[in-house]
Amino acid sequence: MKNVIDVSGRFLVLIFSAVLFLTGCSKDDEGPNASIDQVIGTYTVEDTDESDEMESYSISVNKASKGGSDLEITNFGDIMYVPIKANIKGNKLTIPAQTFKGKTMTIVISGSGTMTGNKLEFDYVIETDDDYVLEHTCVAVKAI
């Protein structure tokens, strides 16, 4: 009888340990660097505006100098001379609202998207200080 209790007790401990281990693991445990490393690179972008006019250009996605899950996108929209800040968590890209002041106007850029394989799909909006809104949809393919 003692062997039956001893074996079943070990079995329960083994099952309990396995359950704790499996519930403690998630994709979030990969940390921010797993997502960042996947998205870093140079992309060819097809950018379509609300009038269905398409423009092709290249962007570069780099780790932001301050680290964390922050990214910097250069040549954003083929119009920006300074990098746009973005965040990635898992496969979700967020471009928080950012204000840029030029000599003749102020614009606010924001957007969001997803990363699947080597493809980054995102939408962004440019709002001007005279209440003009430009909406864009982009498909960016990472250079291999």
pLDDT in tens, 106-118: 999 999 999 999 9
CATH code of the domain containing 90: 2.40.128.120
* Domain membership flag for residue 15: no
* Domain membership flag for residue 66: yes
Q: What is the pLDDT of residue 74?
A: 96
* Domain membership flag for residue 120: yes
* Domain membership flag for residue 25: no
3-class DSSP state of 66: coil
Terminal CA-CA length for the chain: 64
**In contact, 53 and 136? CB cutoff 8 Å:** no
pLDDT in tens, 30-54: 444 557 888 999 999 999 999 999 9
* Domain of 136, in residue numbers: 30-142
Q: How many domains does the chain have?
A: 1
Evaluate if pTM is beyond 0.75.
no
* Domain membership flag for residue 74: yes
* Domain membership flag for residue 48: yes
